[in-house]
Amino acid sequence: MSSRDALILFLPEAAELPVRWMRVIDGALVQSGEGANWLAACGIAALPEQARVLLVPPAALVTLHWMAYPDLPPRQGRAAARLAVLASGLLPADQLFAAVDENDDPSAPHLIALASRSDMQHWMLWAQNHGLDPDIIVPAPLLIEAPEQGLGRAMIGGAAVLRGENMALPEDMALPELIADAPMIDVTTGMVEGRAIAALDRPPLDMRQGDFAKRVRPALDRRALQRIAVWTGMILFLLLATALIWLARQHSEANRLDRESLALARDHGLVVASVGVGDPRSRWGSCAASGAIRYSWRLILAPPDVRRATVAHELAHLLHMDHSSAFHAAHRRILGADPRPARAWLRAHGASLHRYRA
């Protein structure tokens, strides 16, 4: 997703209040408004496919905690902080959701955002009903820069929010004992908007993690796809070329069987009605009483002398429709040689020829 085109949504605490939105292009605010009509207000039918969506939930429904575990490695410290915050919640731990920042400095406190699972589910469903799948969810107080002294105060999502160095909460929940005499620093709307835009690329804490992590589809590598397409095309071309060459060779050899049969028959005063090629599994050739001769196409794989002996064999059947001694004499006479070596070759190698499929 790209922050060059983005939509930032500030959810109100009360359902009857309108959502506030910002349209950001190339890191600059180009349009803002209230309500769910951001597409119409922006004059577009849908957000660009690569647009980034940032959701800011109500400050009153997300509590922030800072916890330090300097003696633990950062990863273990984050886990410990998350468990500690879940254990301190008002609801049972299985009804709460805690998101932790990516702080890798053991000496710095870990920042944890705590919300109820039902609220998280409600925000996600609200976004889904509006055709959105938020890329980032940032707690509202984190859009206020922590002041060096005192408390920063800003209006976010229609509510006043306070932020201190290690404290953040809605103003109407701030007890006097918490804020004491701390100076109050008003933070402008422009400053909040600037922090929200910066959070598109560097969120201070993203609540889309764990069970609520965004399911990201693997990015397609267009160059890799092009290479795959080229190689697939080449393979298909080679397969097609091989098949065409095979068919051409089969046709050529079939014509050769036809020519050899007719020439050899003419030399011995025999008449062949027709010559064909088929795919029989139990014989190399056949001769019908009508004078029609058919051969197995696999003869094209056999040596020429074996093929010629088979032709002579079928021509001899024009004289004798059996395998009598008269037939074998005619076979030898038509071939002009001893056919036994050819028969021996077929017995030895015939099975291997049948491994090929037409």
Written in H, E and C, the secondary structure of 41-71 is HHCCCCCCCCEEEEEECCHHHCEEEEECCCC
Picking from 202, 174, 169, 262, the residue whose alpha carbon sits closest to that of residue 52 is: 202
pTM over 0.95: no
- Provide the pLDDT for residue 83: 93
98: β partners: 114
Query: Which residue, among 337, 289, 285, has the nearest Cα to 313 in the 3D structure?
Result: 285
Task: Say what the pLDDT of residue 319 is.
Answer: 92
For residue 1, give both structure tokens: 């997703």
Q: What is the predicted pLDDT for the residue at 302?
A: 87
pLDDT at 177: 65
Cα pseudo-dihedral 9, 13, 16, 17, rounded to 10: -50
The structure tokens listed for 344 are 């021996």
d(CA 236, CA 285): 34
Could you report the per-residue pLDDT of 124-140, keeping only the tens digit for each? 999 999 999 999 999 99
* 63 vs 50: CA distance, rounded Å: 31
238 backbone dihedrals φ, ψ, rounded to 5°? -65, -40
Q: Rounded to 5 degrees, what are φ and ψ at 96?
A: -115, 155
What is the pLDDT at residue 188? 94
Residue whose token pair is 């008269």: 326
What is the per-residue burial (b if ≥16 Cβ within 10 Å, else e) of 170-181? bbeebeeeebee
pLDDT at 63: 93
pLDDT at 4: 82
For the chain, list the domains and their CATH numbers: 2-219 (3.30.420.380), 224-353 (3.30.2010.10)
Enumerate residue ranges in the chain where pLDDT < 50.
none
pLDDT in tens, 238-297: 988 877 876 776 677 678 888 888 989 899 999 999 888 888 878 899 999 899 999 888
SS3 of 287, please? Answer: strand
**pLDDT of 253:** 67
